[in-house]
């Protein structure tokens, strides 16, 4: 079973060309098969998520630096973005895959931000044994 999740702004009643061509390609690959189509409106990341992201990245930076590194916060942010926020880049006219880019966290919806943070929290623990508490744990620590 193939799944496709794409995010796009709607402009003049249309998806952007890259997403449109990706969807057309997916539909073509599913010719003669039953598919489910689901559309939903995404929300941009929240202020609380942004604050937690900054805190989680700081914890990761401090942990990595305790292991003998000298990372800045921006370097750690770039590191996790490179690992977890790669996106394919397509030719808008042909739909051909032409490369990859790194998404900005400002592009993420609240759900995408949650997945991004959970992914690098898990990676941090499994790869470096650096524990980043969940947002609820942080709230309890602050009180």
How many domains are there within the chain? 2
70 with 1, same domain: the answer is no
Q: What is the pTM of this model?
A: 0.66
Pair 75, 128 in one domain: yes
Residue 55 pLDDT class (50, 70, 90 cuts):
very high
Please report which confidence band the pLDDT of residue 143 belongs to, taking 50, 70 and 90 as the band edges. very low
End-to-end CA distance of the chain: 46
Tens digit of each residue's pLDDT (9 = 90 or more) over 2-12:
777 776 777 78
Question: Do residues 36 and 55 share a domain?
Answer: no
Give the model's pLDDT for residue 36: 81
Residue 2 domain boundaries: 1-41
HSE of 95, CA atoms in CB hemisphere, 13 A:
9
**Interval 61-115: pLDDT, tens:** 999 999 999 999 999 999 999 999 999 988 878 878 899 999 999 888 888 899 9
Residues 66 and 5 in one domain: no
User: Is 77 found in the same domain as 28?
Assistant: no
């Amino acid at each position: 079973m193939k799944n496709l999740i794409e995010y796009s702004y709607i402009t003049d009643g249309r998806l952007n060309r890259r997403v449109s061509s990706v969807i057309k390609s997916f539909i073509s690959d599913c010719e003669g098969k039953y598919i489910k189509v689901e559309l939903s409106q995404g929300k941009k990341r929240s202020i609380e998520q942004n604050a937690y992201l900054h805190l989680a990245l700081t914890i990761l930076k401090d942990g990595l630096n305790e292991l003998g590194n000298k990372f800045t916060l921006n370097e750690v942010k770039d590191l996790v973005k490179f690992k977890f926020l790669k996106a394919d880049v397509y030719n808008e006219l042909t739909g051909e895959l032409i490369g990859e880019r790194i998404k900005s966290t400002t592009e993420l919806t609240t759900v995408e931000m949650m997945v991004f943070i959970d992914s690098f929290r898990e990676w941090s623990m499994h790869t470096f044994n650096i524990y980043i508490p969940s947002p609820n744990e942080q709230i309890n620590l602050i009180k």
